[in-house]
Each structure stands twice: as C-alpha cells, then as structure tokens.
Amino acid sequence: MPMNLIKSFMIVAATSAAFTALGSITDRETPIPTSATDIGTSVRAVIKAQEAAWNRGDIDSYMNAYAHSGKTVFVSSDNVTRGWQTVRDRYKKKYDTREKMGLLTLSELEVTSLSGEAALVLGRWSLKRKADNPHGRFTLLFRRTPEGWRIVLDHTSTAEK
Amino acid sequence: MPMNLIKSFMIVAATSAAFTALGSITDRETPIPTSATDIGTSVRAVIKAQEAAWNRGDIDSYMNAYAHSGKTVFVSSDNVTRGWQTVRDRYKKKYDTREKMGLLTLSELEVTSLSGEAALVLGRWSLKRKADNPHGRFTLLFRRTPEGWRIVLDHTSTAEK
C-alpha cells in the first residue's frame, strides 16, 4: 500500500476513534482505544489483571483475559487447545490446588500494535512454588472485541528442567 | 472502527492493490499481495520454500523466510534470540550436520490475516531423524516487507520427550 494511503487511513482511523470516544461518553460505555499507545496501555492492564487474578487463586477471573470464543487457542509443547471453555477446563484441571498455582509473575512485556484491531505481546512467565520454579515465554495475539482487548491465541513455552 | 469505514478501507486497499499490480507489470517487479486470500497463498509459499531449503541442507536459503532485520525474534523454551544474524548463527550451530537437520515437515498451517501488512501462522513441525523424532508447534508473525512476506517473530515449542 502506498505510504500516503496509509497516512490517509491513519488520519481517518484517528478521527473515527475520537468520534467513538465522544459517542461512548454519551452512551456511558468505556471507549476501547485504537491508538498504538492506548492499545499498549490497555493490553498491559489486561495482563496485569490476569496476573492478580491468578495470585488470588481465581482462575475464572484469570480467564477473562481470553476472548470468550470457540476460536480462542492455547498452544504449548505439541498441543493445541481450542475454545475458551476447553482452555479454562485445562487450567482448572492442571492447577487444581493453590500449591500448584503458586505465585505467578508476568514480566518483560513487549507489545506490538499490528492495526487498530490486533496486537502481539511477547513476555516472560514464572511460577514460584514450594516444589519448583517453572518458567518460560509466551506470545499472545490480542484482538479488539466489544468487551475490550482480549487474547485469541496464547503460545506458551517452558524452559527444560 | 465502524464497519462501513472498514469496508471503505478494504475497497480503497483493493483498488490500491490493483494499481500496484499494474504498476509492477510495467516495473517488472513481483507485486506483493495484500488481500486475505493472496496473503495466505504468499505466506504458505514462503513456508513451503523454507521446508524445501531445510531438506536440501541449505540453512541460508531457509533463513530467507525471516526478515533480514535486527528486530527479528526467535523464541523457544525460556530463550529469546534477537536479530536475523543471531537466529541464523543459532541454527548453524544447533544443526551443524545433515543428520541433525533430518527431514523437516511443516504442516497443519492456519494463516490469519491481521491487516494488509501482518499475518499470523499457527503450524506443526516435525523432524524425522535416525536417532529421534522431535516435534512441536510454531506461531509465526509475518510482515509485508519490500522483499515480500517475511517472518519477524517465530515462537517454537517442542513436545516433551
């Protein structure tokens, strides 16, 4: 796409976002940001809320970060878990005690805005537990949904023991 | 962004792609597609070329799939390798014989177009070797570059032995 077309589109998108924000105040809805800076802030807030939910043992609130869709995907090792409900069930089964959940830290977040509708996050995860300290990396694809920015794909890898 | 704005943008983008294609014939350059279908075709072609290069022991051609940039990232277990050259050096060191390279199969490709400029690919990898058969999943972020569609982030995970 020529650069001037991209610029025109960005201006139109920015103007549209401003109108959406104004509209939202009237409608008493929370505006969902579309600028790169605001996307970064929103996405980081979702991840921080997710970390806090985990650390109070609340997997259901943790799962709020994922899009409530049959297309949501969780990838690890050679496994693909498909659908929000199935991803939730996997977490509930794998982490069925507070000891197994441990203390989660999500850090080194790098957010890349891909459009007004999608963003990619690379980050590090670490679980502090009595028995061990598993850790690794994750790549998250976020999409703008009517509920806010939500994870539609999570690829998580773990350091070898 | 309102739906009618997205539609308008898609029409403008499609028109622009058509002009680009016409321009490219004159310029004798290969047009770089921006429609969702064409992005899928292009991205799959890059991955198939990558697989073929690997299977003739040609890591340098394999590396053509990655954006030749200091920002290109390869993620596995708890490791992040940054920069095209460093990613290449990692492959060259880890797979320094044809026996270690084995026979690569990249399959179950799912391409999601995120904009005219970015696409995400989920897929499965498998190495057939005399000694073992490592396998797992990968998530690739592709970006449209002047050279064509190229990988800017590769997150690869491996099944536990």
pTM of the model as a whole: 0.81
- Higher-pLDDT residue of B28 and B154 is B154
Owner of token pair 């075709």: B41
Which residues make Cβ contacts (< 8 Å) with residue B144, sequence separation at least 6? B32, B34, B116, B117, B118
> Is residue B73 within 8 Å of B154, Cβ to Cβ?
yes
- To the nearest whole Å, the CA of B27 is away from the closest chain A CA by 15
* A-B C-beta contacts closer than 8 Å: 114
Chain A residues whose CB is inside 8 A of the B157 CB are 75-78, 155-158
For residue B26, pLDDT beyond 90: no
What percent of chain A is modeled with pLDDT above 70? 80
> What confidence category does residue B76 fall into, taking pLDDT thresholds of 50, 70 and 90?
very high
Q: B115 and A118 in contact by Cβ < 8 A?
A: yes
What's the confidence (pLDDT) of residue A14? 44
- To the nearest whole Å, the CA of B110 is away from the closest chain A CA by 12
> What confidence category does residue B33 fall into, taking pLDDT thresholds of 50, 70 and 90?
low
Of the candidates B82, B140, B130, the residue with the CA atom closest to the CA atom of residue B106:
B140
> Is residue A107 within 8 Å of A127, Cβ to Cβ?
no
- Residue-wise pLDDT for A19-39, tens only, equals 333 333 334 456 666 788 899
For residue A92, pLDDT beyond 50: yes
Tokens of A72: 């949501």
For residue B63, pLDDT beyond 60: yes
In the three-class reduction of DSSP (H, G, I as helix; E, B as strand; rest coil), residue B59 is classed as helix
For residue B22, pLDDT beyond 90: no
What's the confidence (pLDDT) of residue B30? 60
Which residues make Cβ contacts (< 8 Å) with residue B22, sequence separation at least 6? none
Of the candidates A106, A137, A126, A111, the residue with the CA atom closest to the CA atom of residue A42:
A111
Of the candidates B126, B49, B141, the residue with the CA atom closest to the CA atom of residue A155:
B141
CA-nearest residue to B159 within chain A is A77
For residue A53, pLDDT beyond 80: yes
In the three-class reduction of DSSP (H, G, I as helix; E, B as strand; rest coil), residue A43 is classed as helix
> Is residue B146 within 8 Å of B157, Cβ to Cβ?
no
Distance from C-alpha of B107 to C-alpha of A42, rounded to nearest angstrom: 34
Tokens of A15: 């103007």
Q: What is the dihedral of CA B37, B38, B43, B48, to 10 degrees?
A: 100
- Higher-pLDDT residue of A51 and A22 is A51
For residue A112, pLDDT beyond 50: yes
Residues of B with CB under 8 A from a CB of A: 1-2, 5, 9, 12-13, 16-17, 20, 34, 73, 75-80, 114-118, 120, 122, 124, 135-137, 139, 141, 153, 155-160
What interhelical angle do A3-27 and B3-27 show, nearest 10? 180
- Residue-wise pLDDT for B107-149, tens only, equals 999 999 999 999 999 999 999 999 999 999 999 999 999 999 9
